[in-house]
């Protein structure tokens, strides 16, 4: 009992600092309001009398509208959880152009130096379910919504510069392999390592996940990457290709396994709290926005598939070019309304940005839209946080699950029409997304380069340790398959994994909420 009480005291203490906007939010609200904000009402707006709001004993429940209104809403107030990226932190701010790229991209959000565009950001572990921990060993989503004057532009990226697979057919397999075993309802390392060893292109990204970059120290110190090579065009219709990079101005910082484990025990919402607290205290996090740029000739002569999302584009060949900065300076007023309902879609593109020609991008255009339809309904773009706030929407969509707002009022509801409904515009320099051929993935050499040239001796040792923590509990045939693949990446890596698995020093592990515990 004493241990439990002490643990609860630690949890409470995490939010007890008087200068902590996250821990003191409700007190801050009280201080800035003068007494009660008004008279309680039902959802239909009727005022609620004191007795109805305080006691139901010895009265007819069905006649108490406060009781009926609140109880029936309570059991309906959860919407479907995201399949992946369910737990998240987020905030709002602006993107500002610092360097001119109009010679390659005509999108108006880049139209002049100094121009600012409102943005929303959402950061999220991949595997962790809603209510899990922020310090899991896992990749992170890094999603940005630009509310431009030409509509919303979404970059649905990651904190790793590469992705897991090249063929989108593997999406359901990858997700299910990391989710709970349908028989035991437990995270199962055998499933994960079965996928990783059957699809070895995934090991490039998972070297980062199992390495020192696998647990970011909060979201403010986490880099982001657009992953895809986007096709962009200038006002003359000339094509270029770019990859987006977002580098935190506060520096990249990560947590070691032991440190992350201790934090998870006392503050499972560590990253979310840190982001909210920093913004609330006026310590606004910011990221430098850069791009790698390729010409059409670069694409043709690269010698490899520059659209392969499991690869990185070498910085020596395609150096970073600065574009701007984005700053997060506003917390959500209501988390559910503004972060949980914040809906991203790679198909949200604007004139001048055509998206990626790769199959993963094409599949995401369908999957993300379909996910929002399922979670939020067909009118999810009419939820305030998803509205394109800098442009008047003139769509021919009607009806469906609320919110419908004005439901397009009395305008015609079909196109084309002869009655002065909205018309499409003509782009005389229209460019089409290029068509590409993509071969089977093979990025062992990039994984080798990551292990040999981008990791220090100590980082390689910790990588091996973290892999063993996970792989040590997997079936022997999976261990053998993994050792063979790690040996292809580098004999040293394969030997160290094999030695660790054979040693009596290996322990028993389980995988909990996206984090390996031993």
User: What is the pairing mode between strands 224-225 and 239-248?
Assistant: antiparallel
What residues pair up with 476 in beta bridges, in sequence order? none
Contact predicate 211/456, CB 8 Å: no
Q: What are the backbone dihedrals phi and psi of residue 168, each rounded to the nearest 5 degrees, phi first? A: -65, -10
Cis peptide upstream of residue 150 (ω within 30 degrees of 0): no
Is 373 within any annotated ligand binding site? Answer: no
Report the distance separating Cα 129 and Cα 191, nearest Å.
17
Nearest residue to 105 (alpha-carbon basis) of 222, 230, 259: 230
Q: How big is the chain, counted in residues?
A: 518
Beta-bridge mates of residue 512: 515
Residue 53 DSSP SS3: helix
Are 243 and 204 contacting, i.e. CB atoms less than 8 angstroms apart?
no
Q: What is the spatial distance between Cα 162 and Cα 141, in angstroms, rounded to a whole number?
A: 12
Check: CB of residue 234 under 8 Å from CB of residue 367.
no
Q: Are residues 274 and 312 in contact, defined by beta-carbon separation less than 8 angstroms?
A: no
Binding residues: 368
Annotated binding-site positions for heme: 368
């Amino acid at each position: 009992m004493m241990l439990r009480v002490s643990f609860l005291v630690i949890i409470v203490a995490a939010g007890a600092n008087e200068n902590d906007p996250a821990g003191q939010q409700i007190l801050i609200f009280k201080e800035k309001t003068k007494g009660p904000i008004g008279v309680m009402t039902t959802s239909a707006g009727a005022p609620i009398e004191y007795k109805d709001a305080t006691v139901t004993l010895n009265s007819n429940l069905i006649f108490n509208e406060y009781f009926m209104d609140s109880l029936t809403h309570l059991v309906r107030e959860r919407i479907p959880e995201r399949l992946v990226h369910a737990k998240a932190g987020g905030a709002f701010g602006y993107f500002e152009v610092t360097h001119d790229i109009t010679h390659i991209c005509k999108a108006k959000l880049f139209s002049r130096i100094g121009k600012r565009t409102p943005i929303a950001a959402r950061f999220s572990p991949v595997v962790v379910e809603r209510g899990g921990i922020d310090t899991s060993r896992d990749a992170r989503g890094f999603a940005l919504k630009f509310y431009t004057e030409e509509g919303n532009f979404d970059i649905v990226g990651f904190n790793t510069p590469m992705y897991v697979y090249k063929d989108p057919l593997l999406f359901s397999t990858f997700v299910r392999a990391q989710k709970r075993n349908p028989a035991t309802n437990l995270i199962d390392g055998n499933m994960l390592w079965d996928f990783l060893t059957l699809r070895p292109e995934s090991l490039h990204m998972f070297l980062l996940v199992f390495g020192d970059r696998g647990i970011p120290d909060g979201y403010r110190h986490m880099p982001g990457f657009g992953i895809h090579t986007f096709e962009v065009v200038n006002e003359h219709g000339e094509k270029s290709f770019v990859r987006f990079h977002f580098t935190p101005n506060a520096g990249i910082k990560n947590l070691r396994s032991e440190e992350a484990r201790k934090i998870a025990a006392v503050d499972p919402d560590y990253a979310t709290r840190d982001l909210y607290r920093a913004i609330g205290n006026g310590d606004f996090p910011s990221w430098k926005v850069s791009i790698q740029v390729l010409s059409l000739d670069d694409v043709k002569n690269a010698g490899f598939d520059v659209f392969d999302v499991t690869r990185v584009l070498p910085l020596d060949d395609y150096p970073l070019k600065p574009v701007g900065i984005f700053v997060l300076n506003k917390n959500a007023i209501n988390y559910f309304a503004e972060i949980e309902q914040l809906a991203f879609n790679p198909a949200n593109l604007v004139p001048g940005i055509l998206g990626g020609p790769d199959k993963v991008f094409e599949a995401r255009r369908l999957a993300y839209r379909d996910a929002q339809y399922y979670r939020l309904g067909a009118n999810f773009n009419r939820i305030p946080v998803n509205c394109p706030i800098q442009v008047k929407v003139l769509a021919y969509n009607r009806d469906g699950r609320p919110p419908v707002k004005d439901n397009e009022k009395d305008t015609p509801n079909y196109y084309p029409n002869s009655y002065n409904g909205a018309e499409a515009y003509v782009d005389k320099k229209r460019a089409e997304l290029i068509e590409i051929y993509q071969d089977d993935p093979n990025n062992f050499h990039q994984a080798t380069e990551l292990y040999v040239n981008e990791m220090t001796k100590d980082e390689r040792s910790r990588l091996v340790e973290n892999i063993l923590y996970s792989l040590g509990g997997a079936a022997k045939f999976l261990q053998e398959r993994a050792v063979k693949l790690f040996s292809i990446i580098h004999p040293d890596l394969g030997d160290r994994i094999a030695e660790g698995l054979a040693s009596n020093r290996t322990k028993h592990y389980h995988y909990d909420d996206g984090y390996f515990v031993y």
